[in-house]
């Protein structure tokens, strides 16, 4: 989990003491998440890497302002999103950088099979189900389950309502449950309202 308080402490060490150790720790902590998020928009590993570096250059150059960041987690993701969308616009590579067009890769869902009564086949099914979620749903799922953002933060980042985030999470969860044959019984599952 990405703790806001932890990031805040690192940011204030950087702001107040030019703490290079804290700077490095912050970089290592956020790098792969931010890079993956940048990648989902830019669809280029090289550009994503450069973009994360740009974000951190900004952090070092704007040290004085770091302590006033309310939610650093959201700040980093928003910065990545804005820089990435600007980049796309400049390159005129895409008309819009809407989340529907982002390429979201889940690292995979992790299990501890010993805790669970699931088979290999089920695991495969679950992974498949996750990767077949519609892009926006997969993105929300990833941001919350892998990156540790809160519903409220995801809503703000993607400019959605919290209700939409809730609904998307429910859809993702239900699809996974279906793979595991955990369909809730009693009434037939309503058809999922997902566009193919």
Partner 1 sequence: MSQEKFWILLAKKLSGETSADELHELENLIHEHPEWQFAVQNIGGVLKNHPLKDEIHAEDAYMLHLHRMAEMNIPFNDEHTEEPVFVASNRKAKWYWAAAAVLIVALGFFAFNELSGNKNPNGQLAAEINEISTRQGSKSKVQLPDGTVVWLNSGSKLTYDKEYGQKLREVILIGEGYFDVVKMKDKPFIIHTSAINIKVLGTVFNVKAYPEDKRTETSLLRGSIEVTIKNRPNDKIILVPSEKLVIENSRVIEKEEPKTTIPTPSAEPSINTLVAINKLKYGSSDSSVAETQWIDNKLVFRDESFAELAVKMQRWYGVEIEIKDTKIGQKRLNGIFENETVIQALDALKEFISFRYKQTGNKIIINR
- State the number of CA atoms in the 13 A half-sphere of 8 facing the CB: 9
Query: DSSP letters of 139-192?
Result: HHHHHHHTS---HHHHHHHHT--HHHHHHHHHHHHHHHHHHTT-PPPSSPPPPP
39-47, 79-87, 93-101, 182-190 -> range binding partner 1 (CB under 8 A): 182-190
* C-alpha span between 2 and 8 (Å, rounded): 11
For partner 1, give the closer residue by CB, 97 or 126. Answer: 126
- State the number of CA atoms in the 13 A half-sphere of 15 facing the CB: 14
**Closest listed residue to residue 77, CA positions, set 2, 166, 9, 23:** 2
* C-alpha span between 101 and 116 (Å, rounded): 35
66-74, 85-93, 94-102, 174-182 -> range binding partner 1 (CB under 8 A): 174-182
**Closest listed residue to residue 193, CA positions, set 174, 171, 177, 166:** 171
Residues 79, 85, 156, 177: which binds partner 1 (CB under 8 A)?
A: 177
In the complex, least distance from residue 96 CB atom to partner 1, rounded to whole angstroms: 28
In the complex, least distance from residue 150 CB atom to partner 1, rounded to whole angstroms: 7
Determine, following the binding rule CB under 8 A, whether residue 190 of this chain makes contact with partner 1. yes
Within 12-51, which residues bind partner 1 (CB under 8 A)?
Answer: 13, 17-21, 24, 27-29, 31-33, 35, 49-50
Using CB under 8 A as the criterion, which residues of the chain lie in contact with partner 1 when the complex forms? 1-2, 9, 13, 17-21, 24, 27-29, 31-33, 35, 49-50, 52-53, 56-57, 60-61, 107, 109-112, 115-118, 126, 144-148, 150-151, 166-167, 169-174, 176-177, 180, 182-187, 189-190
């Amino acid at each position: 989990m990405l703790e806001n308080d932890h990031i805040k402490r690192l940011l204030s060490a950087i702001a107040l003491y030019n703490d290079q150790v804290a700077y490095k720790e912050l970089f290592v902590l956020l790098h792969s998440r931010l890079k993956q998020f940048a990648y989902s928009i830019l669809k280029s590993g090289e550009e994503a890497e450069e973009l994360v570096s740009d974000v951190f250059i900004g952090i070092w150059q704007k040290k004085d302002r770091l302590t006033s960041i309310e939610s650093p987690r959201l700040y980093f993701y928003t910065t990545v999103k804005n820089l990435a969308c600007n980049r796309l616009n400049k390159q005129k590579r895409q008309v819009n950088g809407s989340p529907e067009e982002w390429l979201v890769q889940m690292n995979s869902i992790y299990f501890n099979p010993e805790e669970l009564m699931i088979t290999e086949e089920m695991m495969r099914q679950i992974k498949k189900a996750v990767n077949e979620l519609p892009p926006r749903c997969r993105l929300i799922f990833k941001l919350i389950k892998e990156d540790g953002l809160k519903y409220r933060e995801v809503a703000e980042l993607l400019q959605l309502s919290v209700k939409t985030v809730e609904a998307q999470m429910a859809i993702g969860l239900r699809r996974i449950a279906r793979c595991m044959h955990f369909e809730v019984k009693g009434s037939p599952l309503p058809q999922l309202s997902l566009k193919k």
